[in-house]
Amino acid sequence: MRAPGQDWMVLMRRHGATVVGRDLRELVFRCVHSCNDADYQLRARVLGPIDPLSQKERALAGQLRADPIARCWQHWQTLLPATLCTDDIDQDTTE
């Protein structure tokens, strides 16, 4: 396997995926949304051929803003059982 380079995710045949992020929140965001996107793509294939993203669309898709990541993080924290504590990683990294 080679380093992901400018990519944020690499799929490894028969092994799964490796996903990276600048911090834990971004990593979790990329993991969750990559799984959801893969599911949507699989379901869309039933409807017909899927056109790949253009180079411009791919560039835009790789640019994440901090506010959606923070909102998702807060939402996911409300879904965690009270026994799981994220206080030590819950400092605001968007400042």
Q: Which residues contact 80 (CB under 8 A, 6 or more apart)?
A: 86
Q: Is residue 95 part of a domain?
A: no
Q: Is residue 93 part of a domain?
A: no
Q: Is the pLDDT of residue 93 over 60?
A: no
Q: What's the structural domain count of the chain?
A: 1
Q: Is residue 89 part of a domain?
A: no
Q: Is residue 3 part of a domain?
A: no
User: Domain span at residue 55?
Assistant: 9-82
Give CA–CA dist 38/32, Å, rounded.
10
Q: Is the pLDDT of residue 95 over 50?
A: no
Q: Is residue 30 part of a domain?
A: yes
Tens of pLDDT, residue by residue over 10-51, are: 888 999 999 998 899 999 999 999 999 999 999 999 999 999
Would the pTM of this model clear 0.85, i.e. be above it? no
Q: Is residue 47 part of a domain?
A: yes
Q: Is residue 27 part of a domain?
A: yes
- Quick check: 8 and 20 in contact, CB under 8 A? yes
Tens of pLDDT, residue by residue over 73-92, are: 999 988 888 777 666 666 55
